Amino acid sequence: MTPGAGSESINEEEQKAVSFQITIPLIVAVLAACWFIVVFLARKTNPGTMKLALVGGVLAVVMVIDLITVMALSLTITAAIAIPLFVAAIVEFGFIIALAARTFGGRVSQRAFTVGIVAIVAAILIGVVLMFQQLTPAVFNLGFDIILIALLAFNIWSHVTPRPQELK
């Protein structure tokens, strides 16, 4: 083995670790930006949604600052760090559900609502098949990711009420 070959694999592993450390705060920062866009758009038309989005955006900014601080200081993630971040993520998801319910509640047709439910259930079933198939273990992670995203989507979509049907 040449001396250069070992250092290249270490560099690749370090690059993957660094990109992962950048990805999570970046995703949360984009979430915060989306909240503040909602604040800007709803400032005159819907004050309740604006307040909800403002609190969600501030919470996301606090999470970004916390994540960047943990990664910059190379802190070991303990319960004192993980539990508040987990609680903040759960609260943030609750804000997303509330925003979806306020935005789409009563505005989605019954047909579109049903199509959404069927698509989400189909995604869950596809994820289950990918997780428990026996041909190759390579798609296990993909199946898990599909199930996770579909369950989160179902949690959001189940809080949206379809528009009432008109009686003829």
Predicted confidence at residue 167, as pLDDT, reads: 67
Predicted confidence at residue 122, as pLDDT, reads: 97
CA gap 75, 86 in Å, rounded: 17
Give pLDDT tens digits for 56-104: 889 988 888 888 888 888 888 888 888 988 999 999 999 999 989 988 8
3-state secondary structure the chain: CCHHHHHHHHHHHHHHHHHHHHHHHHHHHHHHHHHHHHHHHHCCCCHHHHHHHHHHHHHHHHHHHHHHHHHHCCCCCCHHHHHHHHHHHHHHHHHHHHHHHHHHCCCECHHHHHHHHHHHHHHHHHHHHHHHCCCCHHHHHHHHHHHHHHHHHHHHHCCCCECCCCCC
Predicted confidence at residue 1, as pLDDT, reads: 47
Predicted confidence at residue 3, as pLDDT, reads: 52
CA gap 91, 24 in Å, rounded: 17
CA gap 36, 28 in Å, rounded: 12
130, 132, 156, 152: which is closest to 143 by C-alpha?
130
Predicted confidence at residue 103, as pLDDT, reads: 86
Q: Which two tokens stand for residue 81?
A: 């760090």
10-16's contacts with Cβ under 8 Å and 24+ in sequence apart are none
Per-residue pLDDT of the chain (168 residues; tens, 9 = 90+): 455 555 555 577 666 666 667 777 888 888 888 888 888 888 888 888 888 888 988 998 888 888 888 888 888 888 888 898 899 999 999 999 998 998 888 899 999 999 999 999 999 999 999 999 888 888 888 899 999 999 999 999 999 999 988 766
Total Cβ atoms within 10 A of residue 160: 19
